[in-house]
Amino acid sequence: MQAIEFETDLKNGLIQLPVSYKNWQEGKHVKVIVLVDESMDDTEEQQNRQSINRHAGKISLTQDPLDFQKNIRDEWA
C-alpha cells in the first residue's frame, strides 16, 4: 500500500486534496485515516483565525483615511 501525507482543513465534511494529488490513483479504492492535532484548543484556534480585533490599535493614522484617498485620486486627475 502506498501512502501520502498532507494537511488541510475540513469544510462541510469534505477533504480538499492538494493540486499535486488531484489525479493520483484516480478511480482506485483508497483507505483514509484522519488525524487531528489536539495540542491547540479548538476555541483558541478559532479565535486566532477569526478575531480581527487582535489587530486593533496597532496602526496610528496621521491623516483622515478619506482625505488621504481623495488626495491620492486627485494626483491622477
For residue 16, the model assigns a pLDDT of: 85
Q: What pLDDT is recorded for position 3? A: 85
Residue 32: CB partners within 8 Å, gap ≥ 6? 15
Residue 11 pairs in a beta bridge with 14
Per-residue pLDDT of the chain (77 residues; tens, 9 = 90+): 888 888 888 888 888 888 888 888 888 898 888 888 777 666 666 666 667 777 777 888 888 989 988 888 877 66
User: Given this model, what pLDDT does residue 50 score?
Assistant: 67
| pLDDT value at residue 32 | 87
Rounded to whole angstroms, the Cα distance separating 2 from 15 reads 19
